[in-house]
Amino acid sequence: MTADRRLWFRNRPDCLSDPVCEGVCFDPATGETHFLGDLPALLLSVIDSEPVSVDRLTQRLTGADAIADDDRKKMIGALLFLEAAELVESRFE
Amino acid sequence: MAAHDEKISQNRRKLFKALSAAPVVTTFSSGSALANASAHQCLANPPVASTPQYLEPLPAECSDSNPGANCMAYVERFYWDNDGLSGTHLQYWNNTVTDGRIVVLTDETTATLFTVNPDGSDPDPINTSWNYSVSGSNLIVPGQGGGATPVSLPGKTGYFLLEVVPNADLTGIQEAYAYPQATQDPLAQSCGTSLGVTATNGVHWVDG
């Protein structure tokens, strides 16, 4: 199985973003505060309770279906970071 | 529509900029947050234990001096996630009543794993006429006679025990209760005790 085949979603209340400090969010589900880099923050902003693929997330962000392979790997890497922080969940298609 | 297009363009610029940086997620927990997180982890990953679980309340006709068919408990431990339900068969039937509680010994070393699919089918049914179903995020447990009064249990991510009390002839379900997984943490004694418990239609569940 590869991360490519995963669907990503967040089945919890939204991580509450700090309106002043960009990239800082408080997760009410765990009580933890997360400091997110640009890419994880951007991805988190388009992940909701609907399980979607990386391609669909790309489409949500850019309006385009395709993305370069290297960039796609970076996105998957960021998603795995988010999952490790329990900010998103994934399941296989 | 123009605003939407502008948002997409803005996101695209942000994405290309973000792709050039390392993906960093740093997490900080306060003391109280650590406590909450601990409780959360306890529900999400309960330790394996062979410790007694005490189930309350008992059916009305059940007492210490009158254990019978209606005092039996059928107990499973479920884990709910978006893929549906999965669970572990703990000890099946038990009519040991002590101090007004049904005592069920969990023995996961001999337990078997099973899954209840989102469509309600159960690949490993104990009794096919008792198949569970799923409605939205709720687990529907068939009612007496196999479907007369279904009991709806709120689905939440985490482990919980499901106690099913059969009717007298064991052909259907009389009552069903869901409990947060109680574990025997040496300090806190139980993850469930650190969380509020609410009762709705006879169903107990973790508050929040």
In chain B, DSSP finds a helix count (H) and a strand count (E) of: 2, 14
Domains in chain B, number: 1
pLDDT at B108: 41
Strand order in the sheet with B84-94: B113-116, B84-94, B73-81, B158-166, B173-180
pLDDT at A63: 83
* pLDDT tens digit sequence for A40-76: 888 988 998 889 998 889 888 888 777 788 888 888 8
Contacts (Cβ under 8 Å, ≥6 apart) of B11: A42, A46, A61, A62
Q: Render the burial of B61-79: b for 16+ CB within 10 Å, e for the rest.
A: ebeeeebebbbbbbbbbbb
Give the domain extent around A58: 26-92
Residue B109 DSSP code: T
User: Is residue A39 assigned to a domain?
Assistant: yes
User: Is residue B73 assigned to a domain?
Assistant: yes
CB-CB under 8 Å, B25 with A42: no
CA gap B149, A83 in Å, rounded = 39
| pLDDT above 90: percentage of residues in chain A | 4
A38 touches chain B (CB under 8 A): yes
Torsion, CA A74, CA A76, CA A77, CA A78, rounded to 10: 90
CB B160 within 8 A of CB B178: yes
Q: How far is B158 from chain A (nearest CA, A)?
A: 12
| Residue-level pLDDT, tens digit, chain B, 208 residues | 567 777 777 777 878 777 777 666 666 655 444 444 444 444 444 433 334 445 554 555 555 555 454 455 555 555 544 454 554 444 344 445 556 555 554 444 333 334 444 444 444 333 333 455 556 555 565 543 444 455 555 544 444 555 555 555 555 555 555 544 433 333 333 333 222 233 333 333 322 2
What ipTM goes with this model? 0.74
CA gap B181, B21 in Å, rounded = 42
pLDDT at B15: 80
Give the domain extent around B108: 48-206
* pLDDT tens digit sequence for B29-51: 554 444 444 444 444 444 333 34
Residue B83 DSSP code: T
Q: How far is A82 from chain B (nearest CA, A)?
A: 7
User: Is residue A4 assigned to a domain?
Assistant: no
CB-CB under 8 Å, A84 with B22: no
Q: Which neighbouring-strand residues pair with B45?
A: none
User: Is residue B151 assigned to a domain?
Assistant: yes
Q: Which of B23, B26, B83 sits opposite A74 (nearest CB)?
A: B23
For tokens 């850019």, name the residue: A62
3 state DSSP class of A66: coil
User: Is residue B2 assigned to a domain?
Assistant: no
pLDDT at B184: 33
- Structure-block tokens of residue A68: 């370069």
CB-CB under 8 Å, B37 with A30: yes
User: Is residue A16 assigned to a domain?
Assistant: no
Domains in chain A, number: 1
Q: What is the CA radius of gyration of chain B?
A: 21
**Mean local confidence (pLDDT), A26-33:** 74
pLDDT at B175: 57
